[in-house]
Structure 1
């Protein structure tokens, strides 16, 4: 894979256990292998994603629903993807 200029990627997750955090860490590792600056943060500590070039938002799913904190984060930062290249 070619270099991407070191774009910063925020990888965040919400989980009541360790699984989502482990998945987030693995995703971030793959992104780093591809030349990206990936940072993993739990969703409660993710803060404003404005400085990131991309965001990976992960969540555990219970009863076919994402966790409330995931929905809250996505709602609070819904405009952020519109300013990012696809």
Structure 2
């Protein structure tokens, strides 16, 4: 089985999925991009301003869809385009 792939094609596909509202991108504490399926998004309404959690034990990053990122009043002249909030700790599976 040939395991080679074209990275450009993979990145273009991910960008298309992002643009269509099928997935969203999360940057973890190391600056690595992770991707997750969108549960409530569409191309017209791409809203994924929820908290993400990275487990220090297993390394998994997961969406906490029910915990929203709070509104932040920026100084005059500043325009937010994207918000990210990553919480690190130990997940419920590793804490047992």
Bin of the TM-score, shorter chain as denominator length: under 0.3
> Greater helix share, 1 or 2?
1
TM-score, structure 1 as length reference: 0.28
Larger Rg: 2
